[in-house]
Amino acid sequence: MRAQVFVRLKPGVLDVQGKAIERGLAENDFSAITNIRVGKLIEFDVAATNADKAHQIVESVCQKLLANTIIENYEIKLG
């Protein structure tokens, strides 16, 4: 089963990559684009007997390895 995990900085946490992109956009006349946030997209295969079990494994790996839950939120998509 293919899993997607989206890791985003929590609202209010300074996004330095986002700010850098905003500066780049301003220099390239893309004023239509605002409020940029940069996160991570992590995709992988999960071997599990059913979707519930797969979700449990992915949840555990997010907590332990993929996200820093002090400053980041994560979202899981299976399918």
Q: How far is the CB of 75 from a copy of itself (least distance, A)?
A: 10
User: What CA–CA distance (Å, rounded) separates 18 from 38?
Assistant: 5
The answer to whether residue 79 forms part of the interface with a copy of itself (CB under 8 A) is: no
The answer to whether residue 78 forms part of the interface with a copy of itself (CB under 8 A) is: no
The answer to whether residue 34 forms part of the interface with a copy of itself (CB under 8 A) is: yes
Please identify which residue in 11, 12, 14, 45 interacts with a copy of itself, judged by CB under 8 A. 45
The answer to whether residue 44 forms part of the interface with a copy of itself (CB under 8 A) is: yes
> What are the b/e assignments for 37-51, b being 16+ CB within 10 Å?
eebeebeeebeeeee
Amino acid letter, residue 68: N
